Amino acid sequence: MRRPPTRATPGLWLALLLALGGGLILNLMPCVLPVLSLKALGLAQSGDSRARARQHALAYTAGVLVSMLALGALVLALRRAGLALGWGFQLQQPLVVAVLGLLIFAFGLSLSGLWQLDIRLGARTGALLRRDGMAGDFFTGVLAVVLATPCTAPFMGAALAYAFTGPPAGGLLVFLALGLGLALPFLLIGLVPALARRLPKPGPWMERFKQLLAFPLYATAAWLLFVLAALRGPEAVWQFLLAAIALALALWAATQARLGGARGWRVLALLALLAMAWPLASVQHLPRPQAATAGVTRDGLPQVAWSEQALADLRRQHRVVFVNMTADWCVSCKANEKTVFERPAFRR
């Protein structure tokens, strides 16, 4: 009996090239495209000099590369400790998903005009939230990496396979190449004057476009809420919505205080922010929903929960088995389930 051919992981140079291409394509994913659009829009609106544009691009790129390097180091350290983690592993944590969803929701509210990103909630926080500063550019690069982790672009699979199974130094280089590809479009706009000149001229259309970009952010927050529901059930949805209402109230009250309102607005903003702690803590401590039971069918195909014993039993019976390695946060996985797995040819 012939053994099926095994698929080898690529060498380092090929993995770096694939990672660079995968990171570049990530910019087109719905998770990342709103962030890149906002950065390009801000650059077009600013009218800064070439030197200032280079600083914006380099700070954004630094945020992306540092974040990718930290993510790669964490994955490799956990792998060395005996834990097998893959791309997007942090989205298995309900608190991370909830906080990320609230952050995206807050950015959407800002684009819709409820609050301004230059609100001063303290010196360090204000520096992070202002998009026109170096810290803001760096922070936006960090945010782009966080939003990119739920998406998997073409070419990334083989590159990440090398990063997760190859030498640690090569794995870190793969993560850096992935980050460079993610930052490359905005980096080129900032460094190449000819590309910067092709950006649309500032005008009233930019305000409408900025408001339009709020809706992809709302959609991203809604998708993260779906992921949270899969992790912790319907109760987590209720707790997230309570936190989102408190956050919106805090941002609105802070805006009133910034416009010259009484001190009571600042007190209300602080109380609303503190009120978010209770639903977020509740989300983290909710029990996991019960797993699907064995024998559930979908489109005529029997489904069973994964176990090595179940797989071995089915193979001894000479049954055809398809192992679906998926996740609720994996956009590509869900797309495959809808467009490929439900096809009659695949079922046959």
What is the 8-class DSSP label of residue 83?
-
Q: What is the mean pLDDT of residues 95-106?
A: 87
**Confidence band, pLDDT 50/70/90 cuts, at residue 3:** very low
Please say whether the beta carbons of 227 and 99 come within 8 A: no
What pLDDT score does 5 carry? 45
What pLDDT score does 243 carry? 94
What pLDDT score does 44 carry? 61
pLDDT in tens, 44-70: 655 566 777 788 889 889 999 999 898
What pLDDT score does 43 carry? 64
What pLDDT score does 146 carry? 77
Exposure on the CB side of residue 31, measured as CA atoms within 13 A: 24
pLDDT in tens, 66-93: 998 988 888 777 767 665 556 666 677 8
What pLDDT score does 337 carry? 80
pLDDT in tens, 270-306: 999 999 999 999 988 888 887 555 555 555 667 788 8
Quote helix, strand, coil % in the chain, to nearest 5: 70, 0, 30
For residues 178 and 152, give the distance between their C-alpha atoms in angstroms, rounded to a whole number. 11
**Confidence band, pLDDT 50/70/90 cuts, at residue 119:** very low
Q: Does 110 score more than 70 pLDDT?
A: yes
What pLDDT score does 245 carry? 94
Q: Which range among 13-17, 209-213, 234-238 shows the weakest confidence by mean pLDDT? A: 209-213
What pLDDT score does 317 carry? 92
Please say whether the beta carbons of 43 and 190 come within 8 A: yes
For residues 60 and 318, give the distance between their C-alpha atoms in angstroms, rounded to a whole number. 53
pLDDT in tens, 145-188: 877 766 655 566 667 777 777 788 888 898 899 889 988 888 88
Residues ≥6 apart with Cβ < 8 Å to 59: 134, 135, 137, 138, 141
For residues 260 and 249, give the distance between their C-alpha atoms in angstroms, rounded to a whole number. 17
Q: What is the mean pLDDT of residues 224-247?
A: 91
Q: Does 130 score more than 50 pLDDT?
A: no
Q: Does 123 score more than 50 pLDDT?
A: no
Element holding 298 (H helix, E strand):
strand 296-298
Query: When comparing pLDDT for 238 and 214, which is higher?
Result: 238
Query: b/e string for 242-269 if b means 16 or more Cβ within 10 A?
Result: bbbebbbbbbbbbbbbbeeeeeebbebb
Q: Does 4 score more than 60 pLDDT?
A: no
Residue 90 has a CB neighbour count (10 Å cut-off) of 17
What is the overall mean pLDDT for the chain?
77
What pLDDT score does 77 carry? 79
Q: Does 127 score more than 50 pLDDT?
A: no
- Beta-bridged to residue 301, according to DSSP, are 298
